[in-house]
Amino acid sequence: MSKGLPKRSEDYSLWYNELVKKADLAENSPVRGCMVIKPYGFSIWEKMQAEIDRMFKETGHVNAYFPLFIPKSYLSKEADHVEGFAKECAVVTHYRLMNDPDGKGVVVDPDAKLEEELIVRPTSETVIWNTYKNWVQSYRDLPLLINQWANVVRWEMRTRLFLRTAEFLWQEGHTAHATKQEAIDESVQMMNVYAEFAENYMAMPVVKGIKSESERFAGAVETYCIEALMQDGKALQAGTSHFLGQNFAKAFDVKFTNKEGVQDFVWGTSWGVSTRLIGALIMAHSDDQGLVLPPKLAPIQVVIVPIYKGEEQLQTISDKVAELTKGLKAKGISVKFDNRDTYKPGFKFAEWELKGVPVRLAIGPKDLENNTVEIARRDTGVKELFSLEGNLADKVEALLDEIQNSIYQKAFDFRAENTTEVDTYDDFKKVIDGQGGFVSAHWDGTAETEDKIKTETKATIRCIPLDRKEEAGVCIYSGKPSAGRVLFAKAY
């Protein structure tokens, strides 16, 4: 199989785009800026979704669903929010089509204009808080811990499959609480849930932090985030959790009577991750041969390729594979027996390597004679012969755990090697324009300085790390006092 992938070192962007397509993850749709997620790509999203949803439910959240369309007037109620999303909104103005009088298909019926335009949801805060107004009267109704799995639309001029598309899939949590501290605790908890998922399932190390005021979610008081580093030295925001204060409660008049019998506005949060996590997964781990998938999220964890001549050999191998597969599946390991007779083993090896299957088993006539199987790791390419007198299921289970940990460690080491502490603006620019990665530097805390650095270098403050040392310093740009270092990087 000719993969024809560009090398990451030569053209990282082209490598990414080609890999997404050649690995059968997604393709561009007829609608500009939108994508078709293909079955193999969607199966990765399903595994992500299942684990994240389980984690949500373990923290007491439940799922609901809210409308795709939002009345325009709702977005006008929270000034910062509408300003943040106004340029990205898709607007529905009419409710009917009609046949073109000139016989050229259909046209919009000019008499079918909506009394109020509808916005295709860019995010659901406004419609959800309008609904919560009817659900909350007393402290007994709180907290509301609700999530929805949905699609959203944000017009994007420059799109890239999974990373930035006009329509994408995500989850959005929206919670309401009786106290400020409870809402802050919820925001932090969900950031930690995202971090746990990223590190334990995606094998992707992340930095937990808060956004600068300029980078906050529109309408939020505080935005907590997890930031990851991709192999090209650019950062990617992998998840955000927002403390909304009482902003949306006041905009939509969501009040409750507390235990003392006094009315107050509820405190809110919202948080979400999207299909851009698939883009992060690809860019954090994959190589010039194709995808490298962590076993916990791989649609197929083990592929078995038979090597044979003639139907008789294939049948004998198939009988042995059926026995091996039964043991693997009993361990909860997903297995694919690639017995297609239209492709040779070499083609199959290359195809499954491209698709990132963590473990490949090859078995032929000599293996049957010797009671062995060849085991190959996708992450390192290392192969070994394994005697089937041992327990193959135990061996593969341990190997999958080892691969999961190894992939994480490799990404962790890469981030460590590409995180640089600087004290001058000249050194800052050299790193940003050179090796890239995370740059830890002092900042004076002003939006003016932040904006000037962004304009001059295209680097943004990715986050103010939660675990940063509080140390007095001098801003690399302005020379003014700084309370501590923040992480800068160029980003997706």
The CATH number linked to 151 is: 3.30.930.10
Amino acid at 230: M
The DSSP bridge pattern shows strands 62-63 and 144-153 to be: parallel
**Same domain for 371 and 273:** no
Give the residue-averaged pLDDT of 464-474.
93
Give the residue-averaged pLDDT of 385-399.
97
- Site of tokens 């135990």: 394
At 57-76, the pLDDT tens digits run 999 999 999 999 999 999 98
Average of per-residue pLDDT values in the chain: 96
**Same domain for 349 and 255:** no
At 150, which helix (H) or strand (E)?
Answer: strand 144-153
Backbone angles phi, psi at 197, to 5 degrees: -65, -45
Q: Distance between alpha carbon 442 and the CA centroid of its chain, in Å?
A: 29
In terms of Cα–Cα distance, which of 425, 357, 470, 409 is closest to 43?
357
Alpha-carbon distances, residue 407 vs 63, 205, 252, 268 (angstroms): 32, 10, 46, 37
**Residue 100, pLDDT above cutoff 90:** yes
**Same domain for 277 and 226:** yes
Q: Is residue 329 part of a domain?
A: yes
Say how far apart CA 459 and CA 488 lie, in whole Å: 6
Judge residue 387's burial from the number of C-beta atoms within 10 Å of its C-beta, 0-12 exposed, 13-18 middle, 19 or more buried: exposed
Tokens of 157: 């001029």
Q: Is residue 160 part of a domain?
A: yes
**Same domain for 268 and 392:** no
Say how far apart CA 158 and CA 251 lie, in whole Å: 33
- Tell me what pLDDT residue 3 has: 67
- Tell me what pLDDT residue 4 has: 84
| pLDDT bracket for residue 157 (50, 70, 90) | confident
Q: b/e for 299-313, b at 16 or more Cβ within 10 A?
A: bbbbbbbbbbeeeee
Domain region containing 363: 302-398
- Site of tokens 């830890």: 440
User: Bridge-partner residues for 225, per DSSP?
Assistant: 209, 240
In terms of Cα–Cα distance, which of 351, 357, 409, 362 is closest to 384?
362
Backbone angles phi, psi at 286, to 5 degrees: -75, 165
At 237-278, the pLDDT tens digits run 999 999 999 999 999 999 999 999 999 999 999 999 999 999
Residue 381's CATH number? 3.40.50.800
- Tell me what pLDDT residue 85 has: 87
- Identify the domain boundary among 398, 431, 451: 398
Q: What is the CA radius of gyration of the chain?
A: 26
At 186, which helix (H) or strand (E)?
Answer: helix 180-200
Give the residue-averaged pLDDT of 399-409.
98
**Same domain for 445 and 382:** no
C-alpha angle with apex 446: 445 to 450, nearest 5 degrees? 95
Tokens of 472: 């007095």
**Residue 1, pLDDT above cutoff 80:** no
- Tell me what pLDDT residue 81 has: 87
Domain count, the chain: 3
Amino acid at 323: E
Cβ distance 435 to 417 under 8 Å? no
**Same domain for 126 and 220:** yes
**Residue 21, pLDDT above cutoff 70:** yes
C-alpha angle with apex 275: 198 to 75, nearest 5 degrees? 110
- Tell me what pLDDT residue 347 has: 97
Q: Is residue 473 part of a domain?
A: yes
**Residue 174, pLDDT above cutoff 80:** yes
In terms of Cα–Cα distance, which of 193, 231, 192, 229 is closest to 209?
192
**Residue 432, pLDDT above cutoff 60:** yes
Q: Distance between alpha carbon 266 and the CA centroid of its chain, in Å?
A: 30
**Same domain for 124 and 35:** yes
Alpha-helical regions (H) of 371-436: 392-417, 425-433
**Same domain for 242 and 158:** yes
**Same domain for 358 and 277:** no
Q: Is residue 390 part of a domain?
A: yes
**Residue 211, pLDDT above cutoff 90:** yes
- Pick left, alpha or beta for residue 60 (phi over 0 → left; psi -120 to 50 → alpha; otherwise beta): left
Share of the chain above pLDDT 90, in %: 95
Tokens of 84: 């943040």
Residue 477's CATH number? 3.30.110.30
Q: Torsion angle of alpha carbons 339, 345, 349, 352, nearest 10°?
A: -20
Cβ distance 489 to 437 under 8 Å? yes
Give the residue-averaged pLDDT of 80-90.
88
**Same domain for 338 and 207:** no
| pLDDT bracket for residue 438 (50, 70, 90) | very high
